[in-house]
Chain A
């Protein structure tokens, strides 16, 4: 089986599994005051410190969550609520047009959301961002690396502009952590969310990095864990897994960037050479994600035929009840609904090899020609 869908979920890495296995039977609630509780608490805090060190944050700035979606929700909803509680005029939220629904759909529940467009390469329109930012903006949220296209946004530019108007700046860094250098403290970001399972960690844990001076309002209640931002018994075992995954990904970052860039180039060259009219969606991208437009197909048909040939990828769009929809991200990049329905996303991780790419390229022409016939 050839797995080219790491951006959906990357396989658990052996070192992560081992780290969790070593602590999974340890008894105790980290909030308990006895010996077992203290040992469990120490594991949790060791994990927090490890993550903080790897991502350039203070341990107090690491708030464990269930994953990317919860972190995004907490940053946008909790951030906006905190700002507006202090200053009723500061209730607007600015987001980019290509945000994950965990940011975009949530922000649309708020009284005022301003959406900054992107150009046809997927890059944020900074002039428009300037126009949308003012003293009434509570939170500005721009994804660091897009999950569908891999497009990298200029986060430092967003931070500078957000800071100028006093907005809290959040980034959904689910696809950035482990693939791009992240130094939270130096970045000037107020909030950064990420998750473990895109990095070879376990599903069910992530973290929101929350700058010391920033205090979103919690979305859940009933406990004082995680700076009172995320009540509920802390899961030390998963935290150990998250820390191990981050440690591994950050440690391999330089070498993996070179290696995955090579895989990406091999895949792009192959696809463009094999499929007439194919092109890459997205300009400046992360090395681990490639989004390809295939003319004259339903992406779902190609995906299904590749699946039958043992190659797994994604249609690069959101699913509604199992049905691929035209990608909102690609529509925001100016693609037609038909173009946005013919996109495939391939994404790499630690286990990806040249042989994976070659197996894809071997299976692709037949899948594409059949899907074109069925279109």
Chain B
């Protein structure tokens, strides 16, 4: 196959590309420039789009003898990921930008461009297994439970999966690092990237304040009593406990969490953790990783990248996905994505519209 290997400059995508070469594919390395004003240097373990990261990717491609190019997708990334991220927060929801990037950039903009240019597939260093089941592409959890990234790939359609390769799905991260070192890659010991790549300092609230400004308002408890002040309801996430700066302790002395956010009223409601328990949720239009399942089915629901899967009943009706959880999950925010698994296999995903 002719494969486009997306190379971030990290250890995972480097080993993924190397394995594709070993497997006999005709591989071209592509580094995606997603940042309009890339920093020269990588800072700490964050981000993936500095010049240094591009250079790291290029050096791996050199070692592998791969043609290597940088594709500028910063306009698309800005529109489809960053602006979407900001708009979702502005609307009081909590998006996952990595998921959006996979859905709109890596396995859409890049894949479509690659296919038009004559490539058969896009490969990444994600930890997930892409297999064939009954002649259909299927996405399974990775062998390494600590690194499994099937959740952030749960938004891919069957057509996208058909043209996707994840060469690291059967490996442990430790094995990948050892292999990178054995292959002599300069990135073998490079730290993993964390957090949101376009917020390199990790200060999401500060980033949102810059984009959305500040709008002071009240933090209230469930009775409506004012217990604190905030600089903009959009900066909060349902379930959040830290950074509330509440002036008065709760009557029972227990920690309080954000229960809900009303952007229209600019009010943040806080309360005890048990009030965050959710036993059912409704998602928008489901995205099926394979054949749609019209009837209700039993599976596992996961609502965040490193969240515990919970047994649940799934039912798709009227263009919505209803998920009834066997045991409650705490702190589900609208805008998050629920991914439905059948054992280890990704079946469906949907953006959560409402909890309860």
- Taking Cβ atoms with an 8 Å cutoff, the residues of A that contact B are 300-301, 304-305, 307-308, 321-324, 370-371, 373-374
In the assembled complex, 29 residue pairs joining A and B whose CB atoms fall closer than 8 Å, in A order, are: A300-B71, A301-B113, A301-B117, A304-B28, A304-B67, A304-B69, A304-B117, A305-B117, A307-B67, A308-B28, A308-B67, A321-B38, A321-B51, A321-B54, A321-B70, A322-B31, A322-B33, A322-B54, A322-B58, A322-B69, A323-B33, A323-B70, A324-B72, A370-B116, A371-B117, A373-B117, A374-B113, A374-B116, A374-B117
Instruction: Give a binary string over B90-129; 1 marks a CB under 8 Å from any A CB, 0 the rest.
Output: 0000000000000000000000111011100000000000
Contact B72 A323 (CB under 8 A): yes
**Could you say which residues of chain A place their CB within 8 Å of the CB of B116?**
370, 373-374
In the complex, how many angstroms separate the beta carbon of B117 from the nearest chain A beta carbon?
A: 5
- Across the interface, name the chain B residue whose C-beta is closest to A369: B116
Q: Interface residues of A: mostly helix, strand, loop or mixed?
A: helix
Contact status of A370 and B31, CB under 8 A, knowing A300-B69, A323-B70: no
Instruction: Tell me the complex Cα distance, A234–B6, Å.
Output: 45
- Taking Cβ atoms with an 8 Å cutoff, the residues of B that contact A are 28, 31, 33, 38, 51, 54, 58, 67, 69-72, 112-114, 116-118
In the complex, how many angstroms separate the beta carbon of A56 from the nearest chain B beta carbon?
A: 43
**Could you say which residues of chain B place their CB within 8 Å of the CB of A321?**
33, 38, 51, 54, 70
Q: Interface residues of B: mostly helix, strand, loop or mixed?
A: mixed
**Could you say which residues of chain B place their CB within 8 Å of the CB of A300?**
69, 71
**Could you say which residues of chain B place their CB within 8 Å of the CB of A370?**
116-118
Instruction: Tell me the complex Cα distance, A371–B114, Å.
Output: 10
- Across the interface, name the chain B residue whose C-beta is closest to A307: B67
**Could you say which residues of chain A place their CB within 8 Å of the CB of B28?**
304, 308
**Could you say which residues of chain B place their CB within 8 Å of the CB of A324?**
72
Instruction: Tell me the complex Cα distance, A307–B114, Å.
Output: 15
- Across the interface, name the chain A residue whose C-beta is closest to B26: A308
**Could you say which residues of chain B place their CB within 8 Å of the CB of A308?**
28, 67
In the complex, how many angstroms separate the beta carbon of B158 from the nearest chain A beta carbon?
A: 22
Instruction: Tell me the complex Cα distance, A307–B58, Å.
Output: 16
Instruction: Tell me the complex Cα distance, A373–B116, Å.
Output: 6
**Could you say which residues of chain B place their CB within 8 Å of the CB of A371?**
117
- Across the interface, name the chain B residue whose C-beta is closest to A366: B118
- Across the interface, name the chain B residue whose C-beta is closest to A301: B117
- Across the interface, name the chain B residue whose C-beta is closest to A305: B117
**Could you say which residues of chain A place their CB within 8 Å of the CB of B54?**
321-322
- Across the interface, name the chain B residue whose C-beta is closest to A375: B116
Instruction: Tell me the complex Cα distance, A273–B66, Å.
Output: 33
**Could you say which residues of chain B place their CB within 8 Å of the CB of A374?**
112-114, 116-117
- Across the interface, name the chain A residue whose C-beta is closest to B40: A321
